[in-house]
Amino acid sequence: MVRDHGYRTLAYLSGYVDSPDNLARRGAFEEQVTADGARFMSGPVWQGNYTAAGGARVIENLLASGESLPQAIACANDQTALGVVYALVRRGIDVPGGVAVTGFDDIPVARHLHPQLTTVRQPITDLGATAFATLYSMITDDGLPRDDVTLPTRLVRRESCGCPPTTAPLAARQP
């Protein structure tokens, strides 16, 4: 977001404080934002708990307190991002013109919003198969090492970050 769009202030709207996924996403985002020389915002006022209501609540509380919003908000998941977009638009703040918003998961509704939600896609099928294989390995105690498994993700650029709208017909787009 810093390199592609020149945003200088970026916030991370978190999930549960102790969630390993949340901590990993926050850490990776903070590392990249600060490496790019931009200002990173996070903390207790930026906690959305993985829900649309939580994301909307954070935005409403920040606006009610007179806090300045960052140029871009990366949300811990798409549900949170939905709430953020809703609250911003409800208050007359353009997405992405006033504040850019991104999510994580690429839930089906993300591509049908206006603006379409920029997000990070996870390989959900592979995630389930890997979880099953790991659990089966633990149950059968087959002696295989149980290291952390990291599956690849993919950035899906859409309008909510400031990228141009997708022009491919819906049938031609990947799920």
CATH assignment of the domain containing 82 = 3.40.50.2300
Three-class SS state of 102? strand
* Domain annotation covers residue 24: yes
Strand partners, 121: 105, 154
Residue 135 has pLDDT above 80, yes or no: no
Q: What are the phi and psi torsion angles at 32 (to 5°)? A: -70, -45
pLDDT at 151: 62
Task: Say if CB 123 and CB 102 are below 8 A apart.
Answer: no
115/155: higher pLDDT? 115
Tell me the pLDDT band of 131, cut-offs 50, 70 and 90: low
* Domain annotation covers residue 115: yes
* Domain annotation covers residue 128: no
* Domain annotation covers residue 174: no
| DSSP symbol at 79 | H
Domain residue limits at 54: 2-122+152-166
Three-class SS state of 105? strand
Which whole number is the average pLDDT over 15-41?
93
> Average per-residue pLDDT in the chain?
86
* Domain annotation covers residue 146: no
pLDDT at 140: 77
Task: Say if CB 81 and CB 56 are below 8 A apart.
Answer: no
The two three-digit tokens of residue 100, written as one number: 């850019």
Lowest mean pLDDT among 41-55, 76-90, 103-117, 131-145: 131-145
Residue 122 has pLDDT above 90, yes or no: no
* Domain annotation covers residue 134: no
Which whole number is the average pLDDT over 36-64?
96
Cα distances from 127 to residues 5, 14, 41, 122, 156, in angstroms, run 31, 22, 30, 8, 18
Task: Say if CB 110 and CB 119 are below 8 A apart.
Answer: yes
113/175: higher pLDDT? 113
* Domain annotation covers residue 26: yes
Q: How many domains does the chain have?
A: 1
* Domain annotation covers residue 54: yes
Which whole number is the average pLDDT over 108-112?
90
Burial class (CB within 10 angstroms; exposed 0-12, middle 13-18, buried 19+) of 114: exposed
Listing DSSP states for 122-146 in one string gives --HHHHHHHHHHHHHHHHHT-----
Radius of gyration over every alpha carbon of the chain, rounded to an integer in angstroms: 17
Q: Cα dihedral angle (109, 33, 73, 159), rounded to 10 degrees? A: -50
